[in-house]
Amino acid sequence: MDLWIRSQDKTSLVKVDNLYVSVGNYICYYVEKGKEVPNTYYRPSGELGRYETYERALEVLDEIQGLFIKKDIVKTEISKDGLTMVNMPITCIVYEMPEK
C-alpha cells in the first residue's frame, strides 16, 4: 500500500517511505536508499508538519502508523447496475497533516 501525505501547509503531496520526528518537533520524511533521483546522489526529503511539542508530533506519527495496522482495508462501491457490491483493496492512502 502506498502512503501519500499532504503537507501541513498544503503545498506538497509526497509519496513517503520513511517518517521521523526531528529536532524542532517537525515530522519529516526521507526516501529509502536506492531510490535516489537517477544520475544523482540526491534522496528527496523534507518537512511535512511542525507541532508545538514533541509529544504532539509523536501523536500524529502514531495516527499515521494506525493506517498500516488496519488489516484488510477495502473500498466498497455499488456497481453500475446498482445491484452488485464490489470490494476493492485500497492500494493508496492520502493523509493530510493536521494543524498544530
**Mean pLDDT value of segment 12-41:** 77
Q: Are strands 13-15 and 2-6 parallel, antiparallel or unpaired?
A: antiparallel
41 contacts: CB under 8 Å, gap ≥ 6: none
| Residue whose cell numbers read 453500475 | 80
Longest dimension (CA), the chain: 54
**CA–CA dist 32, 16 (Å, integer):** 9
**Predicted pLDDT at 17:** 77
**CA–CA dist 47, 91 (Å, integer):** 24
Three-class SS state of 38: coil
Q: pLDDT at residue 75 above 70?
A: no
